[in-house]
Structure 1
Amino acid sequence: MGMETKQVKEIIEIFEASNLSHMELEEGNLKIRLEKPTGPAQSIPVSQIVHTQVEPKPIEDENKIEITSPLVGTFYRAKSPKDKPYVSVGDIVHKGDVVCMVEAMKTMNEIQSDQEGIVKEICVEDSSMVEYGQVLIVLGEIE
């Protein structure tokens, strides 16, 4: 029997609260690798970063569509460093198109758009950690 989800969440919470920049844990065939961004941004709690992105936007943006992360993990714009990004600003995205990947515990999860739109903004840098519910990509209506 492997680790339970509750144990994994506790490990992540302990890691988040610590001053460690990365941590690896192995139990049987389960491997957990956690990393925090390093540098000046490290001292800013994630909740503050999220709040700065939620400032009121001009009215023209009220039709924007946000694609959020369904899990905690590492955000990737392309399948591999050699591949071109799934989407770039200005691209038209259709429902069901893969727009990025989020890796969690060595599993690559393709993130699909649930709506049609044009890519207005990519909110996360490639290979950075993302939180559950964090906005990854903003789409606007196709003109």
Structure 2
Amino acid sequence: MAEKKTGIDKSLIRELANILNETDLTEIEVEQEDMRIRVSRERAPQYIQAPVPVGQPAFAATASAPVTASVAAAPVATRDPANVVTAPMVGTCYMAPAPGSRPFIEVGATVKEGQTLLIIEAMKTMNQIPSPRSGVVKEILVDDGRPVEYGEALIVLE
């Protein structure tokens, strides 16, 4: 009879961390028998320069980029974090159970705790994302078929 290995396999954790670095992923999870290991990291914020309007010199965009970024970020900052449903994993977001089907939710819809809001496909597995609480859908912040990152805001419930 094979003896069951006890303890944490540190080499597996190191290998998973290396995979994160090599692939630029933010999270990876492995399950073997009765053990599950999840390795995740926070991604550093990325700053994207605003496109230069036609007819303006390139240096004008540099001066206006911080202003544009702060204006775009303002609505996100005013949202109550308790009302925002975030992505529990990295994957592709689907708003309906199948292509051409009715979406799970729409803006203005009332949802119950545990009701499926959307699906995130990760590693060819369809993961239903349940509502953390009952409420009304105020905003849907993602598009169907779009990749999402761990912790990304998906839906605003009130």
Q: Aligning the two structures, in what range does the TM-score lie when normalised by the shorter sequence? A: 0.5 to 0.7
C-alpha distance in 2 between matches for 1:108 and 1:51 = 35
Offset at 1:55?
2.0
CA pair 92-107 structure 1, distance change in 2 beyond 3 A = same
C-alpha distance in 1 between matches for 2:155 and 2:106 = 10
1 or 2 for the larger relative contact order (CA 8 Å, sep ≥6)?
Answer: 1
TM-score by length of 2: 0.56
For structure 2, the residue ranges without an aligned partner over 5 or more in a row are 1-14, 27-43, 49-68
Identity %: 37
Offset at 1:7?
4.6
State whether structure 2 residue 83 is matched by structure 1 residue 68: no
Out of 55, 72, 75, the residue aligned to residue 74 of structure 2 is 55
Offset at 1:46?
7.1
C-alpha distance in 2 between matches for 1:46 and 1:121 = 23
CA pair 5-85 structure 1, distance change in 2 beyond 3 A = farther
Greater share of helix: 2
Offset at 1:72?
0.6
Q: Which aligned pairs between 1:72-83 and structure 2 lie closer than 5 A?
A: 72-83=90-101
C-alpha distance in 2 between matches for 1:52 and 1:110 = 33
Offset at 1:96?
0.4
Offset at 1:54?
4.7
For structure 1, the residue ranges without an aligned partner over 5 or more in a row are 17-44
1:77-107 per-position Cα deviation (integer Å, ceiling 9, x unaligned): 0111121100000100110000000011101
The number of residue pairs the alignment matches comes to: 108
1:7-58 per-position Cα deviation (integer Å, ceiling 9, x unaligned): 5423431x89xxxxxxxxxxxxxxxxxxxxxxxxxxxx97458987652579
Amino acid across the alignment from 2:90: V
C-alpha distance in 2 between matches for 1:7 and 1:58 = 33
Offset at 1:64?
6.2
Out of 23, 37, 45, the residue aligned to residue 12 of structure 1 is 23
- Which structure has the bigger radius of gyration? 2
TM-score by length of 1: 0.62
Greater share of strand: 1
